[in-house]
């Protein structure tokens, strides 16, 4: 059955049951900043389920375009490796908003699968939530499913929730048994394994509860239904193919790639490049059709990662020039009838893809050479530094997942933690310099900041709007641009404090203020239009996020108190070198030559909290700069000040020049907690801290750790626990060292025993052997150490978790004949799809094809026979 027929049958069936046919919503969700992409059919009905929106219908059916790449739901790394994972896919779904419930949902699903699609009822299995007796009974009553094909499952598998709180409920999943030929073993079965024999095809969610902050479930007055069935997956079953990639939705792309390359598709691991490219060009085409642009952030960067990953796999098929753009018309041929947007803009989409390919090709070859050089210097099992991965990203535009894919093929891991640290540092640098991005915009005029007095302004005319570099009259839904007003309550980023966020509302639209920046005397609002449009000249209602502003105020006043405490505890030589004041935390960099002691940290924390408990007034006053400095006010790290300055004073504690927003009394801070003292370079320290409820959270976390330790060390006082832990660490280290040495000796002895089985070939003792039960290349090397003592040459191969390790040893007698282990290992590694290198005496290789081990041994034996039969 064609996928287009399945799609049409689904819509027609549920329309006949009184469902409103609702078109697919865009891949870029409207008005939901929490999601990068629409990742399920229910996304467009989220507000309906939450009771925030009313529709003219109470039951609906959709075929929804979905993307799972980036964000929480991210299948990108798995695409091509499995038969099921995709970035772009279609979700068939039927929904009830307080209308029908479990009985009808089960009835509809069963009738559609067995009636409309003709699935054999005897091959269908059902799971229900472990306590959902009603669903269990209804599957028997309504569908006639025998009890031995209904399986109760736990919350992890069969309970769905929209978030930590809110609507939730049990789910019931329908699986199809694809047959014994797909079984992974004699124990294969639903709930027993995760192989491809019994495959989920449809999930029915029974939204019947509301979960509150305590976790208590309360029945909803109007229970609802949310279902989802992947079109590609059900098509694969109905078309009798082994994977989603072999359906008529994707396989024409693979056939086109075969024609373009002259390489035949392999449904196994060798076919991964075909699957990656076919999936990724679908995602790219649909995203471009919806107006997403390639960029270095957000959705645009995810799309860029997808394209670059596809290009890297294209190189494995022999592509050295742009090729992805040639596949765009094939996507149109397959999907155009259902989604005209992919054919309507086909020429533009092709051009955008080709241009992006050309941009990346300029650096791809150079980057691959650099990466290959770095990997050649590493042994299998080693780690590529995060610094190297970041260099590849920063210099050659290599996304981390591309570097990780290549490293995986060489059995090398990437230090992703270090990479993320470097990425975060770059983001912080970019944030510190982001004000420069508005410098190129022409200043419409000065802005008067009203945010000291109020967090709201009404009827303030929008004076100017920019989209990129261009001044425009309006911004539409989905646009992100710059808005200028003559007056604003939004604080612009400055003095370490982040810019305010909030909302700008006009009669025609709603724009979220993502950030506020200043250029000269002009304050710019970075906005994203969430609903309707906003237009130049319209009167606007400005609303600062109160919660975030108040949190930033607490942290900013807390930063001043921290600075004062540091100077009081550590000495007047402490100088501020940088700061960050955000709603959720504060960070303070200062000059100091050594780490703080525990006693110093406690004293600083105590002093700040003492000032908070005193509930001291926080005075703000404008005065001449010279007057302020004469009074002892502190000025900082190259800040530029005018003749008139704003001075923030906490009597008896702090006095600083500062234009930021602050509390009116120190008591409003509530509480202060230092999270970390760290080094940021020679002679410079950094303190990270929190205030208010975040401090309480920090203290509670510490108390929870203390309580857990007291429980573990029953009978030990809290004060004695550090010494007890140190003692246990030393004991554990000694035991681990002893165990490692014992295991090393055992593997060494095993090598000696294996060497006893060596064969004499031409007067030389040779061992060619597959070694079982080694968990890593290091362990195989230890076996080889024992072998080397008793042979002239050896070839050892082992399989570790779907990876293959190969080691070649040539003794002095063999090397004297001119043979080098590092030359031979490369030839022997071909059947395991690996590469390697090493020294003349010992070399190693890693591969990813365990099926090639027998061939490696055969080649090794042939090489020995060919070179040594007559050597003696």
Q: What is the pLDDT of residues 136-180, one digit of tens each?
A: 999 999 999 999 999 999 998 999 886 677 788 999 999 999 888
Within a domain: 98:
yes
Within a domain: 95:
yes
Confidence label for 637 from pLDDT (cuts 50, 70 and 90): very low
537 shares its domain with 554? no
Report the distance separating Cα 234 and Cα 6, nearest Å.
9
321 shares its domain with 422? no
Q: Would you state the pLDDT for residue 641?
A: 59
Q: What is the mean pLDDT of residues 654-658?
A: 92
Within a domain: 365:
no
122 CB contacts (<8 Å, ≥6 apart)? none
Secondary structure letter of residue 115 according to DSSP: I
Confidence label for 638 from pLDDT (cuts 50, 70 and 90): very low
Angle of the 272-289 helix axis to the 251-261 helix axis, nearest 10 = 120
Query: Domain boundary residue among 217, 239, 261?
Result: 239
Q: pLDDT tens, 459-488? A: 999 999 998 888 899 999 989 999 999 999
Q: Supply the CATH number for residue 497's domain.
A: 2.40.30.130
Q: Would you state the pLDDT for residue 435?
A: 45
Top-confidence residue, 196 or 483: 483
45 shares its domain with 114? yes
Buried b (16+ CB within 10 A) or exposed e, 762-775: eebbbbbbebeebe
Q: Would you state the pLDDT for residue 167?
A: 82
Choice among 167-181, 302-316, 363-377, 688-702 with the minimum mean pLDDT: 363-377
Report the distance separating Cα 612 and Cα 654, nearest Å.
12
**Domain membership of residue 789 as a residue range:** 743-868
166 shares its domain with 274? no
Q: Supply the CATH number for residue 763's domain.
A: 3.10.310.40
531 shares its domain with 495? yes
Report the distance separating Cα 402 and Cα 352, nearest Å.
21
- Residue 116, pLDDT > 50, answer yes
Confidence label for 533 from pLDDT (cuts 50, 70 and 90): very high
Query: Domain boundary residue among 487, 519, 544?
Result: 544
Choice among 91-100, 387-396, 481-490, 663-672 with the minimum mean pLDDT: 387-396
- Residue 434, pLDDT > 60, answer no
Question: What is the percentage of the chain residues whose pLDDT exceeds 90?
Answer: 55
Is 168 marked as binding a ligand? Answer: no
Q: Return mean pLDDT, the chain.
A: 88
397 shares its domain with 513? no
Within a domain: 193:
yes
Is 195 marked as binding a ligand? Answer: no
Within a domain: 369:
no
Report the distance separating Cα 121 and Cα 143, nearest Å.
9
Top-confidence residue, 639 or 560: 560
349 shares its domain with 317? yes
419 shares its domain with 445? no
Report the distance separating Cα 62 and Cα 765, nearest Å.
71
284 shares its domain with 297? yes
Domain count, the chain: 6
Q: pLDDT tens, 809-845? A: 999 999 999 999 989 998 899 898 877 778 899 998 8
- Residue 439, pLDDT > 70, answer no
Within a domain: 366:
no
- Residue 764, pLDDT > 70, answer yes
198 shares its domain with 230? yes
Choice among 19-33, 71-85, 456-470, 706-720 with the minimum mean pLDDT: 71-85
Report the distance separating Cα 241 and Cα 244, nearest Å.
8
CB count within 10 Å of CB 328 equals 26
Confidence label for 74 from pLDDT (cuts 50, 70 and 90): low
216 shares its domain with 161? yes
Is 280 marked as binding a ligand? Answer: no
- Residue 755, pLDDT > 50, answer yes
Report the distance separating Cα 27 and Cα 373, nearest Å.
39
Is 560 marked as binding a ligand? Answer: yes
Q: Would you state the pLDDT for residue 396?
A: 76
Within a domain: 679:
yes
Report the distance separating Cα 92 and Cα 232, nearest Å.
10
Question: What is the percentage of the chain residues whose pLDDT exceeds 70?
Answer: 94
Q: What is the mean pLDDT of residues 501-506?
A: 95
Within a domain: 725:
no
Query: Domain boundary residue among 175, 206, 239?
Result: 239
56 shares its domain with 184? yes
Confidence label for 688 from pLDDT (cuts 50, 70 and 90): very high
- Residue 315, pLDDT > 60, answer yes
């Amino acid at each position: 059955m064609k996928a287009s027929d399945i799609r049409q049958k689904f819509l027609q069936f549920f329309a006949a049951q009184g469902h409103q046919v609702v078109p697919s919503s865009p891949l870029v969700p409207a008005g939901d900043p929490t999601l990068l992409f629409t990742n399920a059919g229910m996304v467009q009905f989220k507000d309906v389920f939450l009771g925030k929106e009313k529709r003219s219908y109470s039951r609906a059916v959709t075929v929804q375009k979905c993307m799972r790449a980036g964000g929480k739901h991210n299948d990108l790394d798995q695409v091509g490796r499995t038969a099921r994972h995709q970035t772009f896919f279609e979700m068939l779904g039927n929904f009830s908003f307080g209308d029908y419930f479990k009985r009808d949902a089960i009835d509809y699903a069963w009738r559609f699968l067995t009636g409309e699609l003709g699935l054999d009822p005897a091959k269908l299995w059902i799971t229900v939530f472990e306590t959902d007796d009603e669903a269990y009974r209804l599957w028997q009553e309504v569908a006639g499913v025998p009890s031995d094909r209904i399986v109760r499952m736990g919350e992890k598998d069969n309970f769905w929730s929209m978030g930590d709180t809110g609507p939730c409920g049990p789910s019931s999943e329908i699986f199809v048994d694809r047959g014994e030929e797909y079984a992974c073993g004699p124990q294969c079965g639903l709930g027993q394994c995760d192989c491809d024999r019994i495959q989920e095809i449809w999930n029915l969610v029974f939204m019947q509860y509301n979960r509150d902050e305590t976790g208590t479930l309360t029945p909803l007055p109007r229970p609802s239904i949310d279902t989802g069935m992947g079109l590609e997956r059900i098509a694969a079953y109905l078309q009798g193919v082994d994977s989603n990639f072999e359906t008529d939705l994707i396989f024409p792309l693979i056939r086109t790639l075969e024609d373009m390359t002259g390489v035949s598709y392999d449904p196994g691991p060798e076919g991964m490049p075909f699957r990656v490219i076919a999936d990724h060009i679908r995602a790219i085409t649909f995203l471009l059709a919806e107006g997403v642009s390639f960029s270095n952030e957000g959705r645009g960067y995810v799309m860029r990662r997808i394209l670059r990953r596809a290009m890297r796999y294209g190189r494995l098929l022999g592509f050295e020039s742009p090729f992805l753009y040639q596949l765009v018309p094939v996507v149109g041929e397959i999907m155009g009838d259902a989604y005209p947007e992919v054919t309507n803009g086909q020429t533009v989409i092709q051009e955008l893809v080709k241009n992006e390919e050309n941009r990346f090709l300029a650096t791809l070859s150079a980057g691959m050479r650099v990466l290959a050089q770095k990997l050649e210097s590493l042994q299998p099992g080693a780690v590529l530094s995060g610094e190297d991965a970041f260099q590849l990203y920063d210099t050659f535009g290599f996304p981390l997942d591309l570097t990780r894919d290549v490293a995986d093929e060489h059995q090398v891991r990437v230090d992703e933690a270090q990479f993320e640290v470097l990425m975060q540092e770059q983001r912080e640098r970019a944030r510190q310099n982001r004000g420069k991005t508005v410098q190129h915009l022409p200043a419409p005029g000065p802005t008067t900041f009203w945010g000291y007095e109020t967090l709201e302004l009404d009827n303030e005319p929008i004076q100017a709007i920019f989209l990129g570099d261009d001044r425009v009259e309006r911004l539409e839904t989905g646009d992100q641009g710059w808005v200028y007003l003559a007056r604003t309550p939004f604080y612009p980023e400055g003095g370490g404090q982040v810019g305010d966020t909030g909302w700008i509302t006009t009669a025609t639209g709603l724009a979220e203020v993502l950030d506020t920046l200043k250029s000269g005397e002009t304050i710019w609002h970075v906005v994203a239009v969430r609903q309707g449009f906003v237009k130049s000249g319209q009167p606007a209602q400005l609303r600062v996020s109160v919660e975030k502003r108040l949190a930033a105020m607490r942290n900013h006043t807390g930063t001043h108190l921290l600075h004062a405490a540091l100077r009081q505890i550590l000495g007047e030589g402490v100088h501020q070198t940088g700061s960050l004041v955000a709603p959720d935390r504060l960070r303070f960099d200062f000059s100091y030559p050594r780490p703080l002691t525990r006693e110093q940290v406690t004293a600083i924390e105590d002093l700040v909290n003492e000032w908070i408990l005193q509930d001291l007034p926080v005075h703000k006053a404008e005065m001449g700069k010279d007057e302020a400095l004469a009074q002892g006010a502190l000025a900082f790290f190259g800040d530029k000040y005018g003749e008139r300055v704003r001075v923030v004073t906490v009597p008896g504690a702090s006095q600083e020049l500062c234009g930021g927003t602050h509390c009116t009394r120190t008591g409003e801070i509530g509480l202060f907690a230092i999270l970390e003292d760290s080094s940021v370079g020679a002679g410079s320290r950094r303190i990270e801290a929190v205030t208010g409820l975040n401090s309480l959270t920090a203290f509670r976390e510490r108390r929870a750790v203390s309580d857990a330790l007291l429980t573990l060390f029953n009978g030990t006082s809290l004060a004695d626990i550090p010494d007890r832990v140190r003692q246990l660490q030393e004991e554990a280290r000694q035991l681990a060292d002893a165990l490692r040495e014992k295991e090393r000796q055992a593997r060494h002895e095993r090598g000696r025993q294996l060497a006893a089985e060596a064969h004499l070939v031409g007067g030389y003792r040779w061992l060619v052997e597959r070694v079982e039960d080694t968990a890593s290349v290091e362990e195989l090397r230890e076996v080889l150490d024992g072998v080397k003592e008793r042979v002239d040459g050896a070839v050892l191969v082992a399989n570790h978790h779907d990876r293959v390790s190969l080691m070649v040893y040539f003794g002095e007698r063999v090397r004297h004949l001119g043979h080098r282990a590092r030359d031979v290992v490369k030839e022997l590694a071909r059947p395991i799809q690996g590469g390697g290198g090493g020294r003349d005496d010992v070399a190693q290789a890693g591969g990813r094809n365990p099926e090639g081990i027998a061939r490696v041994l055969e080649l090794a034996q042939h090489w020995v026979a060919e070179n040594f039969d007559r050597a003696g």
